[in-house]
Amino acid sequence: MNVRIIIMILLFSTSCEWNQFADKIYYNGNIWTGNPNRPNAEFIAVVGESIIGVGSNHKSFKGPDTELIDLDGQFVVPGFMDSHTHFISGGFQLMSINLRNVAGKDEFISQVEDYVKNIPSGQWVRGGDWDHEMWGGKLPSKEWIDAFTQDNPALLSRLDGHMALANSKALELAGVSKETLDPPGGSIERDTQGEPTGILRDEAMGLIWPMIPESSPDEMDTALEKSMKYAASLGITQVHDMCNWDDLETYVRNKEKLSLRIYALPYYTHWNKHKAFVEEHGYGDNNLRWRGIKAMMDGSLGSRTAWMHTDYKDDPNTKGLVVSADTLELRNVLREADESGIQFAIHAIGTRANEWILDEFKAIEEENGKRDRRSRVEHAQHLLPKDILRFYHDGVIASMQPAHLYDDAAWAHKRVEDDILKGTYAFNSLIKSKAVLTFGSDWNVASLDPLMGIYTAVTRHSRDENNPNGWYADEIISVEDALRCYTINAAYAGFQEDKLGTLETGKLADFVVLSNDLREINPDDILNTKVVRTVVDGKDVYVK
Ligand SMILES: [Zn+2]
């Protein structure tokens, strides 16, 4: 036998027995790996950013310099991946004032006053989320806040976004006075003298918006920093971000500081810039990628703009609408992006919008040929029975946000008939049909907390507490299925199932330690569960 071959065999056989020593071993855990071949384990051994061992006996990975971290029997799952965020907008929301729980005039005034003390003169006061029903229905007025906001223009929205309170400084900048006429589709609330009170309804808020300066790169960086810190505290190790171009620029600028992975899917209207960027830089790497585009077919159920097959129950004059003003342009961009290997993530809420985009995905496949596209429908909220089956058959991913159900279940029956609601948030039907279902939050529109999403998916409880046994309970799924939707299915939805989504040797070390085993507890206690530790790329990014 050739000497070289003998040496190779020797090297090979020794390397099989030889374990590399770990930099760190997280041991004594109750680990759900998500790997069907080895679902449970007690330790994770890590070198650099990679997992080199998962199992029950860590001894062979322990070297003289290995750091040992006792998990104290706590529950460990692969890092949560949120498949649908507006991450930097979320950061700005964290930076703005939150009046959601304010219960009266005095509290409203003192909270705004405290907030203004801590921001520089000239900076806009944004946010709000106030609800005047909390204090008997009297609307706030500019006089409540004018005394301490002379140097800070303010526009504070009501929680539904359909009205806002402007202070005198903001009205002055926008030139809104007694003489200003109500704009079409909006109204300016006035006192008995005809003077604006500060309350602006719908399109009247648009009088102020052009006055609000665009965010500077520094402000964008700060918003990202806030979002990342918050996400780490919730166990989130990656987001699929439906974003604008300046968001992607912010990620690129902060690439070395990212404490979670970002898969950016810029809006399709940026396609020309995006295309040039892909040609120059490829699709990105494990930490930051930009391989997809986002587009929108329709609106939302709440505003009766989700595009349905039938008229709305509470407005027989509409079936909703197509948002993309120029569908032809959208169709052209999709075809061109497909040639560049780009993934689609298309917002579709209504039954007709979902059918339209599923047809469109099929048409693109017929025109451009079969390949591993993993096209995604974002929301996939109301589906006809025939379309539920198409997700698996056509290889389309359903990217859904269970926490929206928590809000919608209280009033959705007012908008649409029971037969439509049977195909609404159809988690279990999609899983049973073998479709890939992935979960996200839609933060900042809904809560970023993955535990809130899991809780809603496994209980189908609603905010109004009228569905103690679950809203359309046939669509309840198990905790493990919900976990898969936040981990391995999300990894698949981002073309990363070979590197992420389960805890196994060779994958990247992203995981989260929780205070409760979600599989064992009463589902109501999911919301009382705490994130104890978040690890991204083998590094602790959050420790409670
Ligand atoms: Zn969204």
Distance 242 CA to ligand 1 centre (A): 7
How far away, in angstroms, is 347 Cα from ligand 1 center?
Answer: 8
What pLDDT, on a 0 to 100 scale, did the predictor assign at position 4? 55
11 pLDDT band, cuts 50/70/90, is very low
| Separation of CA 441 and ligand 1 centre (Å) | 8
Residues 6+ apart with CB under 8 A from 210: 174
- Contact by Cβ (8 Å): 96, 222: no
pLDDT in tens, 287-321: 999 999 999 998 888 878 899 999 999 888 889 88
CA of 174 to the centre of ligand 1 (A): 30
Containing 271, the helix (H) or strand (E) segment is helix 271-281
d(CA 400, ligand 1 centre) in Å: 10
Residue 132 near residue 138 (C-beta atoms within 8 A):
yes
Cα-based distances in Å from 18 to 13, 64, 184? 9, 16, 75
Distance in Å, CA 442 to ligand 1 centroid: 5
DSSP code of 22?
P
Place of tokens 């602790």: 540
Q: Which of 4-13, 322-331, 370-379 has the lowest mean pLDDT?
A: 4-13
Q: 142 C-alpha vs ligand 1 centroid, how far in Å? A: 32
**Under a CB-based contact definition with an 8 Å cutoff, are residues 391 and 398 in contact?**
yes
Ligand 1: centre distance to CA 538 (Å): 30
Tell me the average pLDDT across 335-340.
96
Assign 326 a pLDDT band (cuts: 50, 70, 90): low
Residues 484 and 489: their CA atoms lie apart, in Å, by 6
Residue-level pLDDT at 447: 92
Pick from 379, 392, 461, 458: nearest CA to 423? 379
Number of Cβ atoms within 10 Å of the Cβ of 311: 14
Cα–Cα distance measured from residue 416 to residue 413, given in angstroms and rounded to the nearest whole number: 5
Residue 294 C-alpha to ligand 1 middle, in angstroms? 9
CA 10 to centroid of ligand 1, rounded, Å? 55
Residue 134 has pLDDT above 90, yes or no: no
Is pLDDT at 275 greater than 80 in this prediction? yes
**Residue 507, CB-side half-sphere exposure with 13 Å CA sphere:** 24
Distance 402 CA to ligand 1 centre (A): 13
DSSP β-bridge partners for residue 378: 347, 399
Cα(444) to centroid(ligand 1), Å:
8
Measured in angstroms, how far is the CA atom of residue 115 from the centroid of ligand 1? 28
Render pLDDT for 405-418 as a digit per residue (tens, 0 to 9): 998 998 899 999 99
Q: How far is the CA of 325 from the centre of ligand 1 (A)?
A: 18
Interval between CA 85 and ligand 1 midpoint (Å):
6
Distance from the alpha carbon of residue 86 to the mean position of ligand 1, in angstroms: 6
Nearest by Cα to 313 from 235, 415, 424, 231? 415
Give 162's Cβ-side CA count (13 Å radius): 6
Q: How confident is the model at residue 227 (pLDDT cuts 50, 70, 90)?
A: very high
**Cβ 86 vs Cβ 444: under 8 Å:** yes
**Predicted local confidence at residue 334, as pLDDT:** 96
Instruction: Give the per-residue pLDDT at 8.
Output: 47
Give distance in angstroms: CA of 84 to centre of ligand 1: 6
Tokens for 385?
A: 């029975």
Cα(144) to centroid(ligand 1), Å: 34
Report pLDDT for 13: 44
Q: How far is the CA of 328 from the centre of ligand 1 (A)?
A: 22
**In this model, does residue 16 exceed pLDDT 50?**
no
CA of 83 to the centre of ligand 1 (A): 10
Distance 543 CA to ligand 1 centre (A): 29
How far does residue 369's CA lie from ligand 1's centre (Å)? 29
Residue 515 neighbours by CB distance under 10 Å: 15
**Under 8 Å CB-to-CB from 133, ≥6 apart: which residues?**
none
Count of C-beta atoms within a 10 Å radius of residue 5 = 9
Question: Would you say 139 and 199 are in contact if contact means Cβ atoms under 8 Å apart?
Answer: yes
Name all domains of the chain by residue range, CATH numbers in brackets.
3-73 (2.30.40.10), 88-211 (3.10.310.70), 217-499 (3.20.20.140)
For residue 80, how far is its CA from the centre of ligand 1 (angstroms)? 18
Helix axes 385-394 and 351-368, enclosed angle (nearest 10)? 30
Give φ, ψ of 457 to 5 degrees: -65, -35
Q: Residues 124, 212: contact at Cβ < 8 Å? A: yes
Question: Token pair 């949120």 is at which residue?
Answer: 82
Asked if the bond preceding 444 is cis, omega within 30° of 0, the reply is yes
How far does the centroid of ligand 1 lie from the alpha carbon of residue 475, in Å? 22
Retrieve residue 89's tokens. 């907008």
| 229 Cα distance to chain centroid | 15
Q: Looking at residue 542, what DSSP letter applies?
A: E
What is the C-alpha to C-alpha distance for residues 60 and 27, in angstroms, rounded to an integer? Answer: 13
What is the distance in A from the centroid of ligand 1 to the CA of 381?
12
Residue 159, pLDDT score: 81
CA of 232 to the centre of ligand 1 (A): 20
For residue 241, report the distance from its CA to the centre of ligand 1, in Å: 9
Mind listing the pLDDT tens digit for each residue in 23-42?
Answer: 999 999 999 999 999 999 99
Tens of pLDDT, residues 191-206: 999 999 999 998 899 9
HEC profile of 51-102: EEEEECCCHHHCCCCCEEEECCCCEEEECEEEEEECHHHHHHHHHCEECCCC
Distance 296 CA to ligand 1 centre (A): 9
Residues with CB under 5 A from ligand 1 (ion): 442
- The rounded Å distance from CA 534 to ligand 1 centre is 25
Give 3-state DSSP helix, strand, coil % of the chain, rounded to 5. Answer: 35, 25, 40
